[in-house]
Chain A
Amino acid sequence: MFPLRLAIQSILKEFWINLLTVLSIGALLMMLFAVGTIVYNIEIMTRRLPERLSILVFLKDHTPEGDLKVIEARFKSEPLVRSVEFISKDKAMNNLKKTFKEDDFILKGITDNPLSDSFEIRLKGNNLSVNDVKGFIDKIRALKNVDDVEHGGKLLESVYAFKQGLRVLGIFTGVIFATAVIFICYSTVRLLFYRRLDEIEIYRLLGATKAFVRAPFFIEGAVIGFIGGVLGTILLWILNNYLIGRIMVNIPVFSFISVPVGSLYFMPALGFVLGLSGVGFALGRLKY
């Protein structure tokens, strides 16, 4: 009970230092979550990418009708395939004509259809690895009657590499921000500790245990971290509602952005833990 009272007294007495600390922690935690949100959003945006990619399998000329059926069945039996569509060379020509619309004079001189029959394969979404896709494409290439395969594997590969890099960067920044929060708590507690050193010495002479002396600092660190977290939550909430919610909705790219609102409540808990660790580091090696 008494340590709690000491902690509250200290928070009120050193109001400005504590306020500054809370503000810094709030800002840092908010940035930490902003980075998290960015990573999270890119994760979501790219999750369904393989689904959008299609693989075009061009067949050799004069592939027998029977073989077509066999190949199609073969594709459909693959677990990562979502749909298979046969596009005959005539249909391909029609599509081409449609694409050119009024400019179809380009195609006027062509009498013999130079296009080939093809299959358009769409893959199931959700976290297909690049290797899965590559392996699948190699399998297709090896099939009889297949002339060429066109696919977005390269794109997928670079997007995945980008995502990987972003994840690492996110974790890296997260660790840096978290460390900064710990460090801020650490230096505030150190400062408060040295300010109260005379007082602490008297406590010790009267028979106070180390735990008794430390308890108020731990409470203070935890409270400051927690309030910092609440502040960060509020800041991010405001940012989400007013900035992203009202203004950026009209800008197409930003309209996709979704803040993982549920995890916002996690922020005060994180502040709490980081605050406590800051105090732990600050007092851990002190002799008194």
Chain B
Amino acid sequence: MITLENVSKRYETQEALTKVSFTIEKGTMAFVTGPSGAGKTTLFKLLYLAEKPDEGHISIAGFNTATLRESSIPLLRRNIGVVFQDFKLLNNKTVYDNIALTLRIRGIMERETKERVNSVLKMVNLRHKSDSYPLTLSGGEQQRITIARAIVGEPTVMLADEPTGNLDAENEDAIMNIFKRINAKGTTILIATHNKRLYDNTAKKVLYLDCGRLVKEAIR
């Protein structure tokens, strides 16, 4: 479902990723870990085509990113649900509208949108915050909204960048349970995290990044 071959990415001053290769099978829940600055977010940006690799090949959800036409990028992104590390919520729109946006962009009717948005809001336990604005919510609540937005489109691949960074243990478990649920339905999931607790007992595959290099790949 996700394949990287010798992928490198340089920013002006430094190498963020160096010759990274790995494969994540369809339906897997995998983790990327490593110290701050290791290149986890950069890896995600390459996967949802916010950045282009300097070298190497990437394929994700059946798309080869090198040969993908500019006009097909939206199509690729609709197949990928992303939980951004910095949330990327629209602060001038309500929680409901933020999540609904994913579906409205696809031209889905308001009635169906309403049903689906309310259902994911229930999943993250924030049904009552539907009409609030993001900045009036706690960090953990904003994070759960971001997760709800990523899953509402029922993507084939989910990329979650530090999805539990702001959550207490209880909410952390709740979110991991959601991920497990949608993973069980067949969604391939890649989670970037510092948090050992998340992948210690559950993970099938853990990728260890350090200074842009893939230093270890643990498979259970």
| Complex Cα gap A209–B104 (Å) | 12
Residue of A nearest to B92 (CB): A199
A191 CB → nearest B CB, Å: 17
Q: Enumerate chain A residues within 8 angstroms of B37, measured Cβ to Cβ.
A: none
Stretch at the interface among B18-26, B75-83, B125-133, B183-191: B75-83
Q: Is the interface of B mostly helix, strand, loop or mixed?
A: helix
Q: Does B102 contact A (CB under 8 A)?
A: yes
Q: Does B48 contact A (CB under 8 A)?
A: yes
Q: Does B106 contact A (CB under 8 A)?
A: yes
- A210-224 interface mask toward B, CB cutoff 8 Å, 1 = contact, 0 = none? 101000000000000
Q: Does A286 contact B (CB under 8 A)?
A: no
Q: Does B218 contact A (CB under 8 A)?
A: no
- A183-209 interface mask toward B, CB cutoff 8 Å, 1 = contact, 0 = none? 000000000000000010011111111
Neighbour of A207 across the interface among B88, B92, B102, CB < 8 A: B102
Q: Are B105 and A212 in contact (CB under 8 A)?
A: yes
Q: Does A2 contact B (CB under 8 A)?
A: yes
Q: Are B77 and A2 in contact (CB under 8 A)?
A: no
Q: Enumerate chain A residues within 8 angstroms of B61, measured Cβ to Cβ.
A: none
Which residues in chain A, 1-26, are within 8 Å of chain B measured between CB atoms?
A: 1-2
Which residues in chain B, 41-90, are within 8 Å of chain A measured between CB atoms?
A: 48, 50, 71, 74-78, 82, 84, 88, 90
Q: Enumerate chain A residues within 8 angstroms of B71, measured Cβ to Cβ.
A: 209-210
Q: Are A207 and B90 in contact (CB under 8 A)?
A: no
Give me 11 other A-B pairs in contact (C-beta within 8 A), A199-B92, A205-B77, A208-B105 excluded: A1-B110, A2-B104, A2-B107, A205-B48, A206-B101, A206-B105, A206-B149, A207-B74, A207-B77, A207-B78, A209-B74
Q: Enumerate chain B residues within 8 angstroms of A208, measured Cβ to Cβ.
A: 74, 105
| Complex Cα gap A207–B81 (Å) | 10
Residues of B participating in the A interface, judged by any CB pair closer than 8 Å: 48, 50, 71, 74-78, 82, 84, 88, 90, 92, 101-102, 104-107, 110, 149, 153
Q: Enumerate chain B residues within 8 angstroms of A212, measured Cβ to Cβ.
A: 105
Q: Enumerate chain B residues within 8 angstroms of A205, measured Cβ to Cβ.
A: 48, 50, 77, 82, 84, 88
Q: Is the interface of A mostly helix, strand, loop or mixed?
A: helix
Most A CB atoms within 10 A — which of B77, B105, B153?
B105
Q: Are B90 and A206 in contact (CB under 8 A)?
A: no
Q: Are A207 and B75 in contact (CB under 8 A)?
A: yes
The 9 listed contacts between A and B (C-beta, < 8 Å) are A1-B110, A202-B88, A203-B105, A204-B77, A206-B105, A207-B78, A207-B105, A209-B74, A210-B71
Q: Enumerate chain A residues within 8 angstroms of B90, measured Cβ to Cβ.
A: 199, 202
Q: Enumerate chain A residues within 8 angstroms of B104, measured Cβ to Cβ.
A: 2
Most B CB atoms within 10 A — which of A1, A204, A205?
A205
A196 CB → nearest B CB, Å: 10
| Complex Cα gap A202–B90 (Å) | 8
B175 CB → nearest A CB, Å: 20
Most B CB atoms within 10 A — which of A202, A203, A206?
A206
- A261-287 interface mask toward B, CB cutoff 8 Å, 1 = contact, 0 = none? 000000000000000000000000000
Q: Are B50 and A207 in contact (CB under 8 A)?
A: no
| Complex Cα gap A199–B89 (Å) | 9
Q: Enumerate chain A residues within 8 angstroms of B92, measured Cβ to Cβ.
A: 199
| Complex Cα gap A204–B48 (Å) | 11
Q: Enumerate chain A residues within 8 angstroms of B106, measured Cβ to Cβ.
A: 207
Q: Enumerate chain B residues within 8 angstroms of A210, measured Cβ to Cβ.
A: 71
A4 CB → nearest B CB, Å: 12
Q: Enumerate chain A residues within 8 angstroms of B78, measured Cβ to Cβ.
A: 207
| Complex Cα gap A210–B101 (Å) | 15
Residue of A nearest to B49 (CB): A205
B154 CB → nearest A CB, Å: 13
Q: Enumerate chain B residues within 8 angstroms of A2, measured Cβ to Cβ.
A: 104, 107
Residue of A nearest to B48 (CB): A205
* 5 pairs of A and B residues whose beta carbons are closest in the complex: A207-B77, A207-B78, A208-B105, A2-B104, A209-B74
Q: Enumerate chain B residues within 8 angstroms of A203, measured Cβ to Cβ.
A: 101, 105
A229 CB → nearest B CB, Å: 31
Residue of B nearest to A3 (CB): B104
| Complex Cα gap A206–B88 (Å) | 10
Residue of A nearest to B149 (CB): A206
B95 CB → nearest A CB, Å: 15
A201 CB → nearest B CB, Å: 8
| Complex Cα gap A206–B78 (Å) | 7
Most B CB atoms within 10 A — which of A1, A202, A203?
A202
